Chain A
């Protein structure tokens, strides 16, 4: 009897492990087969490791992956070893393992997507001085790591301009993930944008403390909308799904409700779609775009051409086409769009320097 029990237990546990492994990296198994040993060795290959958001997080992981796919297509690479690929991290503990896996599979350039990679990538860069790495949204000061930053604050500034001009209640909300420098940039830029065009508007701030807790985003949005806020800008990853969820729910109850969400990182128009009594509505006003794909592609190209920007920190802003705002599908008036263009020009030619910290924001508002 005892033996049977253990057999059953072992079976259960190993089945679980096998399935978990399948879920994680099914590309490895299916793709390694069609790559001969030698034929792709001379080709440049590139791979990325996602953070816990996953490769279709509808945010920067997805955008980075799109950049790599585009790069792969432009250069005739195939998905898999010797071409381009990604590994998904299920928890923070997977970062180091995943990077090492990709090194062993022989990729020439490995991207870590997200601020959370700073520490694991710093450690591995020391252990593997011959490998080339790049990190998005963080800075690792090592000769074999290129750091890619985005001037998120410039995109957020434009979102602030839109919100400041579009609000009817003069109350605007900001929902952030964790209180980290990246999100501080979003908040500072956004508030500066609002102030520049509408000094009377009040901006309510709420940090939920997590990027993957939709219920917290939903609660925060609920509180803001019920206190009269009509536009919420979120910089909170999957927590922001809760903000959309809340806005859509209000819209569904009352299609005339004046609630809007400004998306982040990529065009989140699809997230805002809601159907009430057969009629289509959308709560997405616009989105502050962070074209991670532009940066990822640029660094990949430079590296392929032998100019790996190791040890450098490259910033992509409005000027470089790395940030911007999304099409509003006709919701924004000509006047507002004209104002956005005007401020874009001012930022591009250096007339306005968008603040990226609280201190700079104070100095900015003092002017």
Chain B
């Protein structure tokens, strides 16, 4: 493989792998910015992946090529409704947010596998879907020399939607009144309350945004990579998304950078055997690279990452 070919392989591949992480990570940025810890991202992704696969299998004949996108929307809605559990328990009833999140993860895995067994007569995994997210060349742009093959040839639409979503997320969070309110609720809820912002309502919205985006993330993963749903479909991606969020210092763009970085490490381990220098490194080091980088990142090697101040603290009106 020539150098250009290698780059043209790594970049789309890294973006492809990063897309579900970006969506889910963006969701967690929103919840945590509103002051609710979201350990349940993994579970919400599972709900999204499961819903998308089941919907896709059931409706592929009727909707044909539209199935994918409708499935993503349905997954988004179902996942958002499911995330209300987290909101009700941790915002209204002020339960411990970490424990609630863990409960969400257990519940999601158990519930989806139980339903798979019920729906597909006792099987532990669903059949494979036929309508799936496909690669395409972007017309005109892919003909640009050098940049074309790297960024616009053999790409997935979802990669670009994810990047777009992260940018929109950043604008919403930092450039709109809504974003300011959401952040203020996460930093100093009492001050926000005195200014007439409904703290709990904002937190509900934060959690539901997270549910919706994690649902999209799970749906994209299932429909582009695994093509079926089983216990192993979502195994750790939700936590990788949370890691990306911390790595990116609770900023949508930083989170996106971190997610793409994880994707990059992942593709490097695949293509590494055909690169000079890297081919001499034992493959096991390349396999663990994304995880080691995550640990280093979280251990504070990238500078202090500061969480929203009121994170993990339920808001009680009038308490000081």
Which chain A residues have a beta carbon within 8 Å of chain B's beta carbons? 1, 4-6, 8-9, 12-13, 15-24, 26-27, 52, 54-57, 88, 90, 179, 205-210, 212, 214-216, 218-220, 222-223, 226-227, 238, 241-242, 245, 249, 252-253, 271, 275
Instruction: List residues of B (222-243) whose CB comes within 8 Å of A's CBs.
Output: 225-228, 230-232, 235
Sorted nearest first, the 8 A-B pairs with minimum C-beta distance are: A20-B110, A16-B106, A19-B110, A23-B113, A16-B107, A54-B124, A209-B287, A23-B114
Q: Is the CB of A219 within 8 A of B226?
A: no
Question: Which chain B residues border A220 with CB–CB below 8 Å?
Answer: 270
Q: Does B283 belong to the interface (CB within 8 Å)?
A: yes
Instruction: List residues of B (74-132) whose CB comes within 8 Å of A's CBs.
Output: 85, 89, 93-96, 99-100, 103-104, 106-107, 109-111, 113-114, 116-117, 122-125, 128, 130, 132
Least Cβ–Cβ distance between B16 and chain A, in angstroms: 8
- From B94, B116, B231, A5 is in contact (CB under 8 Å) with B94
- From B5, B13, B96, B136, A227 is in contact (CB under 8 Å) with B5
**Which A residue sits closest to B227, measured CB to CB?**
A245
Question: Which chain B residues border A13 with CB–CB below 8 Å?
Answer: 99, 103, 106
Complex alpha-carbon distance, A245 and B266, angstroms: 18
Report if A20-B235 is in contact (Cβ < 8 Å); known contacts: A12-B89, A214-B225, A227-B1: no
Report if A22-B110 is in contact (Cβ < 8 Å); known contacts: A9-B100, A223-B271, A245-B227: yes
Least Cβ–Cβ distance between A160 and chain B, in angstroms: 20
Q: Is the CB of B135 within 8 A of A249?
A: yes
Least Cβ–Cβ distance between B260 and chain A, in angstroms: 15
Q: Is the CB of A209 within 8 A of B93?
A: no
Complex alpha-carbon distance, A56 and B116, angstroms: 13
Q: Is the CB of B110 within 8 A of A5?
A: no
Question: Which chain B residues border A218 with CB–CB below 8 Å?
Answer: 225
Question: Which chain B residues border A18 with CB–CB below 8 Å?
Answer: 110
Q: Is the CB of B17 within 8 A of A215?
A: yes
Mind listing 10 A-B residue pairs with CB under 8 Å?
Answer: A1-B94, A16-B110, A17-B110, A23-B113, A212-B235, A215-B226, A216-B270, A218-B225, A222-B13, A241-B227
Complex alpha-carbon distance, A1 and B123, angstroms: 42
Of B106, B117, B232, the most chain A CB neighbours within 10 A belong to B232
Supplied contacts A227-B5, A227-B274, 17 more A-B pairs, CB within 8 Å:
A5-B94, A8-B89, A9-B96, A16-B107, A20-B113, A20-B114, A21-B110, A23-B110, A23-B114, A26-B117, A26-B122, A205-B273, A207-B283, A209-B287, A216-B266, A219-B266, A271-B128
Report if A245-B225 is in contact (Cβ < 8 Å); known contacts: A19-B111, A20-B106: yes
Q: Is the CB of B114 within 8 A of A22?
A: yes
Which chain B residues have a beta carbon within 8 Å of chain A's beta carbons? 1, 5, 9, 13, 17, 85, 89, 93-96, 99-100, 103-104, 106-107, 109-111, 113-114, 116-117, 122-125, 128, 130, 132, 134-136, 225-228, 230-232, 235, 266-267, 269-271, 273-274, 283-284, 287
Complex alpha-carbon distance, A54 and B110, angstroms: 15
Q: Is the CB of B100 within 8 A of A209?
A: no
Complex alpha-carbon distance, A54 and B114, angstroms: 14
Q: Is the CB of A9 within 8 A of B103?
A: yes
- From A56, A207, A219, B125 is in contact (CB under 8 Å) with A56
Question: Which chain B residues border A88 with CB–CB below 8 Å?
Answer: 124
Q: Is the CB of B107 within 8 A of A19?
A: yes
Question: Which chain A residues border B283 with CB–CB below 8 Å?
Answer: 179, 207, 209
Complex alpha-carbon distance, A88 and B287, angstroms: 27
Least Cβ–Cβ distance between B237 and chain A, in angstroms: 10
Q: Is the CB of B117 within 8 A of A23?
A: yes
Main DSSP-derived SS at the B contact region:
helix
Question: Which chain B residues border A12 with CB–CB below 8 Å?
Answer: 85, 89, 100, 103-104, 107
Q: Is the CB of A206 within 8 A of B270?
A: yes
Q: Is the CB of B93 within 8 A of A8?
A: yes
Report if A219-B93 is in contact (Cβ < 8 Å); known contacts: A13-B103, A20-B106, A226-B5: no
Question: Which chain A residues border B228 with CB–CB below 8 Å?
Answer: 241
Q: Is the CB of B89 within 8 A of A54?
A: no
Complex alpha-carbon distance, A1 and B85, angstroms: 17
Question: Which chain A residues border B93 with CB–CB below 8 Å?
Answer: 1, 4-5, 8
Question: Which chain B residues border A55 with CB–CB below 8 Å?
Answer: 124
Complex alpha-carbon distance, A205 and B235, angstroms: 26
Q: Is the CB of B231 within 8 A of A17?
A: no
Q: Is the CB of B270 within 8 A of A212?
A: no
Complex alpha-carbon distance, A57 and B128, angstroms: 12
Question: Which chain B residues border A6 with CB–CB below 8 Å?
Answer: 95
Of B85, B103, B284, the most chain A CB neighbours within 10 A belong to B103
Q: Is the CB of B134 within 8 A of A8?
A: no
Question: Which chain B residues border A17 with CB–CB below 8 Å?
Answer: 106, 110
Complex alpha-carbon distance, A202 and B251, angstroms: 47
Question: Which chain A residues border B114 with CB–CB below 8 Å?
Answer: 19-20, 22-23, 26
- From B94, B99, B231, A54 is in contact (CB under 8 Å) with B231
Least Cβ–Cβ distance between B10 and chain A, in angstroms: 9
Least Cβ–Cβ distance between B285 and chain A, in angstroms: 11
Report if A214-B226 is in contact (Cβ < 8 Å); known contacts: A209-B287, A249-B134: yes
Complex alpha-carbon distance, A207 and B107, angstroms: 34
Report if A15-B225 is in contact (Cβ < 8 Å); known contacts: A23-B114, A219-B13: no
Report if A5-B225 is in contact (Cβ < 8 Å); known contacts: A22-B114, A56-B125: no
- From B122, B232, B274, A212 is in contact (CB under 8 Å) with B232
Question: Which chain B residues border A24 with CB–CB below 8 Å?
Answer: 113
Question: Which chain B residues border A54 with CB–CB below 8 Å?
Answer: 124-125, 230-231
